[in-house]
């Protein structure tokens, strides 16, 4: 089916490189973008939200997994015991 072929084509190294290029572009453009509304310090720093996004993602994964493994996660039949 065509749809499957398109998805297969998107799963190549070239697409991956293109995606990395896009990330660099995101930060570069952030240097020249107009900033009409400044609510707090982060709004003034170019690339702030890139860093924020990356750190948030890492924090959520690491902290949640830590909480899960040390405290919250149980076997599936935990409540039946």
57 binds another protein (CB under 8 A): yes
3-state SS, residue 80: helix
Q: What is the closest distance, in whole angstroms, from the C-beta atom of residue 41 to another protein in the complex?
A: 9
Are 48 and 42 contacting, i.e. CB atoms less than 8 angstroms apart? Answer: yes
**How near is the Cβ of 39 to another protein at its closest, in Å?**
4
Under 8 Å between Cβ of 46 and 26: no
| Binding residues with another protein: total (CB under 8 A) | 47
Q: How far apart are CA 5 and CA 80, in angstroms?
A: 46
Contact residues for another protein, defined by CB under 8 A:
1, 3-4, 7, 11, 19, 22-23, 26-27, 29-30, 33-37, 39-40, 43, 47, 49-54, 56-65, 67-68, 71-76, 78-79
């Amino acid at each position: 089916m065509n749809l499957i072929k398109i998805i297969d084509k998107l799963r190549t190294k070239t697409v991956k490189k293109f995606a990395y290029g896009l990330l660099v572009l995101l930060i570069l453009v952030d240097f020249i973008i107009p900033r009409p509304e400044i609510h707090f310090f982060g709004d003034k720093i170019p690339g702030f939200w890139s860093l924020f996004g990356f750190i948030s993602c890492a924090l959520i994964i690491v902290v949640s997994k830590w909480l899960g493994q040390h405290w919250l996660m149980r076997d599936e039949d935990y409540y039946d015991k």
